[in-house]
């Protein structure tokens, strides 16, 4: 991987982390007492680890369209709940992140699943 690709990977990883952190903060603000409670912080740390290990960076699709389901069952249900709740609110709280997300979503590569 050359320096240009490495920088692209780091930019995408930073964007993914910032987006998931923002979504968890929105969810926690509405559902828990703290800005980010212990339970939500654990989910955030887990999400960061998954992002760091993503083999599809920097061209990864949105989680919904990804053929690699990297979250375990417990965390997958929790993150889906967070995303369903926070996703529509992202335009209100983080309009720039939302626009970048949409740009990425509509320009993402289509990955085919094996055996399909």
The tens digit of pLDDT for each residue in 30-49 reads 999 777 899 999 999 999 99
- Given pLDDT bands bounded at 50, 70 and 90, which one contains residue 110? low
Whether 112 is in a domain gets the answer no
Whether the per-residue pLDDT at 105 is higher than 50: the answer is yes
Q: How far apart are the first and last CA of the chain?
A: 30
The yes-or-no verdict on residue 115 having pLDDT over 50 is no
Q: Residue 28's domain spans which residues? A: 3-107
Q: Is residue 68 in a domain?
A: yes
Q: How many domains does the chain have?
A: 1
Q: Who's near 65: CB < 8 A, 6+ residues apart?
A: 105, 108, 111
Confidence of residue 109 (pLDDT cuts 50, 70, 90): low
In a domain? residue 64: yes
Whole-structure pTM value: 0.83
Classify residue 80: in a domain, yes or no. yes
């Amino acid at each position: 991987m050359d320096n240009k690709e490495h920088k692209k990977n780091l930019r995408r990883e930073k964007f993914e982390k910032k987006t998931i952190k923002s979504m968890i903060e929105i969810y926690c603000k509405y559902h828990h007492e703290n800005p980010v409670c212990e339970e939500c912080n654990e989910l955030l740390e887990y999400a960061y680890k998954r992002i760091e290990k993503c083999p599809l960076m920097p061209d990864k699709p949105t989680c919904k369209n990804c053929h690699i389901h990297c979250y375990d069952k417990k965390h997958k249900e929790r993150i889906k709940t967070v995303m369903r709740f926070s996703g529509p609110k992202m335009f209100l709280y983080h309009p720039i992140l939302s626009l970048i997300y949409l740009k990425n979503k509509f320009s993402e590569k289509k990955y085919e699943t094996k055996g399909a």
